Structure formats: C-alpha cells, structure tokens
Homo-oligomer: A and B are copies of this chain.
C-alpha cells in the first residue's frame, strides 16, 4: 500500500502498468455521495472509460463482471472502518482490480487491501471537509486525461487551486443566512432537498445524513429535473424545500423548480453557488464540477445552525456507535 503519492502520480503509475477500462466508485452514505462529483465528471466527459457507482454492499453481493484486472476501484470511508467498504476493497483486490482508497485515518482497516491510499483532512475547517470529494475528482480528471485526454485539464487544475479557499470563505460568510434558515426551519417535520448536475448527491447526503441521521427530521430527496415528474404534487403553501442551486449547465433545471416553488408559496430555502461568486473564480468550461464544493461548505453551516436552534447536536445518534447491527 502506497500513501505517499498524489492523484497525478498514482494514475501515472497505474496506466503505465495496465489497460484501464472501468472506473468504479464505491462507498456508503455520505462517503458514497462524496464520490458523485467525480462520477458525474466522467459520465459527462469520458468516451472510452466505463463508469459506475455503488453502495458498498451491492458491490459486494452483486459484484459487477467488470470488476477485473482492467478496473480501478475508488472507495472512501471517513473513519476507514465502514465494514461494507472495507469488504468491498477485499472483493475488488480478489478480482484483480487496482484499489485507491480515501480516508482520514492512517492505517485504518480500509487501507489494508488498497493499492494506494490518499489521506485527507476533515475536522480542521470547512475546506478540509471537501478534500475527500476533491481528491476523488482529481483522480477522475487524471484518469480521463491520462487515458483519453481532456481538453479542459488546465481549467480544472486552476479550479482546484482556488476552490478550497473560496469554499471556506463562502462558509464563513453564510452564518447570518444560516441562522435565519435555522429559525425558519427548526420546527419542520418533513424537509425536502433537491439539486441537479454534480450537486445531485449533495442534496442526497444533506437529506439522508444531515436531516435524517443527524437531526432526526423526516426528509426526501430527488433530482430537481425529476421534481416535475411526481414530487411536485406534494407542493403546497409552506411545504419546506431546500434547493441547492448550481451555476453552469443545469442551472435552468434548478431555476424552473424554484419558479414553481415560489408560485405556490412553498417554504423554500435556496443555497446558490452563484451567490458565493463561483463563476467569478472558476472557468465556465468546468464550473459545473465545482458547485458541490461551495454548496457543501455553505450548507454545513446551515446544518450547524439548525442543530443549535433545535438543541440537537449533529453528533447525536440513536443507533450508530451505540449498537451492533
């Protein structure tokens, strides 16, 4: 297991050794969602690499045929002990795939069957919470560029140079809006969260983790493009929605949902990457892929303020860390 190399060097070593055909992202919960921007980037841009994304136990119990010596499996687990993801690394290794793992805990169980490990921060500040997503996206960019070529590689690299600072500053400037959100939403019984593009699974993790897991608030989530094909019939005056708005190609999808929510007086909270100046800092050709960074950082502040106003710490659990299951 090598943990001293960065994304570019890791990919260089892999493509020198093998014919990479399949990129498979594996994780659970928030760590699965954090891999999504990289999956979305490759779905958008790749023409040869095959891309898939699984919750770890589906990967383990219904292992795809493409998990073989031509596959690179990228897995993530914050604490490095998620049993399903640790097992996924063993499954991947057994099938001859190359395994790259992301975790913050040195020598954790996840690292055992990984060929390469990238350690990332988390607790230090809002920016370090984005490193898991960021390293995964960098791996995706390197895989695409080194296997197929990618015309906007330089713009992506310039984006990585600025996105952590911008996200940290965005989070720090969001406190006042977050406090207002917390006061408006603290007594809600059901809160919906939606987005589109690379931010689709930020909405997902905001719903299943920040709302359901960390606040015990009922929640549902769906792609903003799907809103008009079922979910919108739930809209009525004061029904609570959180809309994570993207700058870039899918903005019009988010805007259309917002117009509908406003038209029927839903109780809507918007977190908009445009408000934090994303497109002033990142080139238009790649702006789509950096929305999840700014929005994740800002919405973390919203979740913190919600937890304070509800007097329910984000770390409080009924089952996790308490029981075997």
Question: Which A residues lie at the B interface, using CB under 8 A?
Answer: 21, 28-32, 43-52, 55-58, 61-62, 64-66, 68, 82, 84, 189-190, 196-197, 205, 207-209, 212-214, 216, 218-223, 225-226, 228-236, 248-250, 252-253, 256, 260, 263, 288, 317-320, 325
A37 to chain B: closest CB distance in Å?
13
Asked if residues B46 and A230 are in contact (CB atoms below 8 Å), the reply is no
Q: Which residue of B lies closest to A252 (CB)?
A: B61
Contact of A50 among B50, B197, B250 (CB under 8 A): B50
- Residues of chain B within 8 A (CB-CB) of A250 are 57-58, 61-62
Asked if residues A212 and B196 are in contact (CB atoms below 8 Å), the reply is no
- Residues of chain B within 8 A (CB-CB) of A221 are 220
Apart from the given pairs A61-B249, A232-B319, 7 other A-B contacts in the complex at a CB distance below 8 Å: A44-B64, A50-B51, A205-B230, A208-B222, A208-B230, A232-B320, A233-B317
- Residues of chain B within 8 A (CB-CB) of A222 are 208
Asked if residues B55 and A319 are in contact (CB atoms below 8 Å), the reply is no
Complex CA distance for A29 and B52, rounded to whole angstroms: 21
- Residues of chain B within 8 A (CB-CB) of A205 are 230
Q: Which residue of B lies closest to A222 (CB)?
A: B208
Complex CA distance for A241 and B99, rounded to whole angstroms: 36
Identical chains in the assembly = 2
Q: Which 7 A-B pairs have the closest CB atoms?
A: A29-B229, A220-B220, A208-B230, A55-B225, A213-B230, A62-B249, A28-B229
Asked if residues B216 and A58 are in contact (CB atoms below 8 Å), the reply is no
Complex CA distance for A46 and B47, rounded to whole angstroms: 16
- Residues of chain B within 8 A (CB-CB) of A84 are 225
Given A288-B62, A317-B233, residue A226 in contact with residue B45 (CB < 8 A): no
Asked if residues A325 and B212 are in contact (CB atoms below 8 Å), the reply is no
Q: Which residue of B lies closest to A190 (CB)?
A: B218
Asked if residues A65 and B46 are in contact (CB atoms below 8 Å), the reply is yes
- Residues of chain B within 8 A (CB-CB) of A212 are 220, 230-231, 233-234
